[in-house]
């Protein structure tokens, strides 16, 4: 099973996730999340499959998130609108996002990765 690993190479959390996957010999296709952000449709699919609220896909500690005042923009936004905002800029996305087409994880917690991807 090959996973799609959306990451940002300069991101410390992404590096930890990549190292964990390499150590556990997990096959994945790495996609640069800023150069090739997932589409609105892909985000709608990720949100549905992850079972997480759409707001969990935002990089709330990111500079761009604060600069663009995304917190206010998404307060009353629909899931569709949030997916559109996420697809518009890879720097707004919480990373890494990992999927096998069925399951989706957002961010990196070793316990979660072990539970979902091993």
Q: Please give the pLDDT value at position 40.
A: 97
Please determine, for residue 1, whether its predicted confidence score (pLDDT) is greater than 80: no
What rounded mean pLDDT belongs to the chain? Answer: 96
Tell me the CATH number at 36: 3.40.30.10
At 55-77, the pLDDT tens digits run 999 999 999 999 999 999 999 99
The string of DSSP codes covering 44-112 is HHHHHHHT--GGGGB-TTSHHHHHTTHHHHHTT--HHHHHHHHHH-GGGB-S-EEE-SS-EEES--HHH
What is the mean predicted confidence (pLDDT) over 38-44?
97
Q: Please give the pLDDT value at position 44.
A: 97
- The domain in which residue 87 lies consists of 3-117
At 98-111, the pLDDT tens digits run 999 999 999 999 99
């Amino acid at each position: 099973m090959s996973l799609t690993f959306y990451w940002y190479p300069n991101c410390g959390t992404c590096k930890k996730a990549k190292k964990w996957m390499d150590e556990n010999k997990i096959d994945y296709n790495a996609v640069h999340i800023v150069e090739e952000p997932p589409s609105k449709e892909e985000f709608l699919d990720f949100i549905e499959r992850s079972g997480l609220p759409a707001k969990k896909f935002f990089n709330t500690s990111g500079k761009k998130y604060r600069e663009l005042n995304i917190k206010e923009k998404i307060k009353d936004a629909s899931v569709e609108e949030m997916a559109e905002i996420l697809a518009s800029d890879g720097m707004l996305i919480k990373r890494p996002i990992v999927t096998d087409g069925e399951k989706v994880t957002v961010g990196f917690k070793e316990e979660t990765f072990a539970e979902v991807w091993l």
